[in-house]
């Protein structure tokens, strides 16, 4: 239970909020009647709401501290429901079958607008999985991830505009160019870590955007590139609605391919090297792991998916300009990784769907979108810093099954 000091703090917090919001929430000037309206009920609502929220905040903080002292007492409460769900085949197999049916029938049951939103969510899920390699597995904070996204988009737009190359021809080219730029970024930052690494990657992203915005002869500047060809199916072009459905199924295939590759990488030798680099860089190097190769591989493979999604983005919108690749895009992708759970593939996918789908379906709160977004991130970082679905560590047991026959795994 909360003691009197916490209630007193909550009361002081409520009074402080009432004082701060008094000019905005209480005083209303009517210019038509030249009168001042006093909305005292708003002040009461602000006070009561902030008081109750403050009490809830103190209660959750106290509960977190109690659970931290006695981990076993709150193990069942803190274990994520989705984690327990995924460890039970009798539950997740029917759910997976139902999800497959819904995914395949989705574009035929809903409007093109809903299909477009779902396609965007799938694209951000793939982008989040790519950044998850760099941030979640290797522990390298990258704030300029949107630069590789822009490289992929402009590679398809320029090659299609000047040479008439199609989507399927440029898709691997965009991935390779993204990997190349990832290596170019990785070399200068090999000795950097933490905040310094974040600042350099942020600068790299802004440099790419400014080059695209000011080099008119190369990228057509702020005007952008229009009339980019949509993906074809063995040379067959689709109308707008057909192309929307086709890109949706294409994104499902690319998302499944990304999940497969990233999961294999995570469980491979290079994946274990990334995790060792994230945990302790000095110990990682002392164990004989090539730090240079490990970092460069993380930047290159993470940027590969951004380059691929850039090609898909250009083909989907048929128009791109530098305004589509601002820092806020990198921030959203990073928020997807942090909110879902760094290093967790299901967590990143869930984070992408939450951060992309919810704002579209809750447009009634569009004026408070960024406020709610910031509040959710703060609450997550305080009460669940590992994200919605934290990464599970593999546990290996060695048991001497029979004396004289060695140790079995």
Q: Where are the domains of the chain?
A: 4-78, 102-383
What is the residue-averaged pLDDT of the chain? 83
**R_g over Cα of the chain:** 25
pLDDT at 75: 45
pTM of the model: 0.81
Q: Using the 8-state DSSP alphabet, how is residue 408 labeled?
A: B
Reported as a pLDDT band with limits 50, 70 and 90, residue 252 is very high
Report whether pLDDT(150) > 80.
yes
- The answer to whether 167 and 230 are in contact (CB under 8 A) is yes
pLDDT at 397: 62
Mean pLDDT of the 84-98 span: 68
Reported as a pLDDT band with limits 50, 70 and 90, residue 1 is low
Report whether pLDDT(86) > 70.
no
When comparing pLDDT for 154 and 3, which is higher?
A: 154
- Percentage above 90 pLDDT, the chain: 28
Residues 208-226 have pLDDT tens digits of: 999 999 988 888 888 889 9
Which range is least confidently modeled, 42-56, 254-268, 364-378? 364-378
How far is 118 from 245, CA to CA, in rounded Å? 11
Report whether pLDDT(409) > 50.
no
For residue 377, the SS3 value is helix
Mean pLDDT of the 227-236 span: 84
Reported as a pLDDT band with limits 50, 70 and 90, residue 74 is low
pLDDT at 398: 61
Write down the number of H helices and E strands in the chain.
17, 2
Alpha helices by DSSP H, 1-111: 4-25, 40-69, 75-78, 81-86, 89-109
Report whether pLDDT(256) > 90.
yes
What angle (nearest 5°) sits at the alpha carbon of residue 366, between those of residues 364 and 369? 125
Reported as a pLDDT band with limits 50, 70 and 90, residue 365 is low
Mean pLDDT of the 144-156 span: 93
pLDDT at 82: 56
DSSP 339-364: HH-TT-HHHHHHHHHHHHHHHHHTGG
When comparing pLDDT for 401 and 262, which is higher?
A: 262
pLDDT at 29: 80
Long-range contacts, stretch 219-225, CB < 8 angstroms, 24+ apart = 219/154, 219/158, 219/322, 221/322, 222/321, 222/322, 222/323, 223/321, 224/319, 224/320, 224/321, 224/322, 224/323, 225/154, 225/157, 225/158, 225/161, 225/319, 225/320, 225/321
pLDDT at 174: 93
Mean pLDDT of the 330-336 span: 90
How far is 21 from 47, CA to CA, in rounded Å? 10
Report whether pLDDT(407) > 70.
no
Reported as a pLDDT band with limits 50, 70 and 90, residue 316 is very high
pLDDT at 43: 84
When comparing pLDDT for 369 and 129, which is higher?
A: 129
Reported as a pLDDT band with limits 50, 70 and 90, residue 394 is low
157 CB neighbour count, 10 Å cutoff: 29
Report whether pLDDT(61) > 50.
yes
Residues 20-60 have pLDDT tens digits of: 888 888 888 877 777 788 888 888 888 888 888 888 877 77
Report whether pLDDT(408) > 50.
no
How far is 13 from 73, CA to CA, in rounded Å? 31
- Percentage above 70 pLDDT, the chain: 88
Report whether pLDDT(77) > 60.
no
């Amino acid at each position: 239970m909360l003691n009197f000091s916490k209630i007193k703090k909550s009361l002081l917090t409520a009074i402080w909020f009432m004082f701060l919001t008094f000019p905005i929430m209480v005083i209303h000037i009517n210019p038509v009647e030249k009168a001042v309206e006093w909305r005292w009920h708003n002040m009461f609502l602000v006070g009561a709401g902030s008081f109750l929220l403050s009490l809830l905040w103190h209660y959750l903080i106290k509960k977190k501290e109690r659970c931290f002292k006695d981990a076993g007492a709150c193990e069942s409460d803190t274990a994520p429901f989705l984690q327990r769900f995924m460890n039970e085949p009798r539950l997740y197999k029917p759910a997976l079958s139902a999800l497959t049916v819904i995914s395949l029938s989705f574009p035929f049951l809903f409007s093109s607008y809903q299909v477009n939103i779902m396609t965007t969510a799938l694209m951000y899920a793939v982008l989040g999985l790519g950044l998850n390699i760099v941030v979640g597995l290797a522990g390298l904070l990258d704030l300029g991830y949107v630069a590789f996204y822009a490289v992929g988009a402009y590679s398809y737009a320029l090659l299609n505009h000047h040479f008439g190359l199609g989507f399927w021809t440029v898709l691997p080219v965009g991935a390779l160019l993204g990997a190349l730029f990832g290596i170019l970024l990785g070399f200068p930052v090999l000795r950097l870590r933490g905040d310094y690494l974040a600042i350099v990657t942020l600068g790299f992203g802004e440099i790419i955007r400014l080059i695209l915005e000011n080099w008119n002869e190369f990228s057509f500047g702020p005007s952008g590139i229009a009339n980019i060809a949509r993906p074809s199916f063995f040379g067959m072009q689709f109308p707008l609605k057909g192309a929307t459905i086709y890109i949706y199924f294409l994104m499902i295939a690319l998302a499944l391919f990304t999940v497969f590759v990233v999961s294999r990488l995570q469980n491979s030798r290079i994946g274990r090297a990334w995790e060792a680099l994230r945990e302790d860089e000095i110990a990682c190097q002392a164990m004989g792991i090539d730090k240079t190769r490990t970092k460069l591989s993380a930047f290159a493979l993470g940027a590969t998916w951004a380059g691929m999604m850039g090609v898909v983005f250009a083909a989907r919108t048929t128009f791109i300009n530098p305004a589509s690749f601002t820092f806020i895009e990198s921030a959203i992708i990073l928020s997807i990784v942090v909110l879902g759970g760094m290093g967790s593939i299901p967590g990143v996918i869930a984070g992408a769907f939450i951060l992309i789908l919810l704002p579209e379906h809750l447009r009634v709160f569009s004026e408070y979108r960024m406020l709610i977004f910031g509040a959710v991130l703060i609450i997550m970082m305080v009460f669940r810093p590992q994200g919605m679905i934290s990464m599970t560590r593999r546990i290996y047991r060695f048991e001497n099954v029979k004396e004289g026959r060695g140790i079995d795994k």
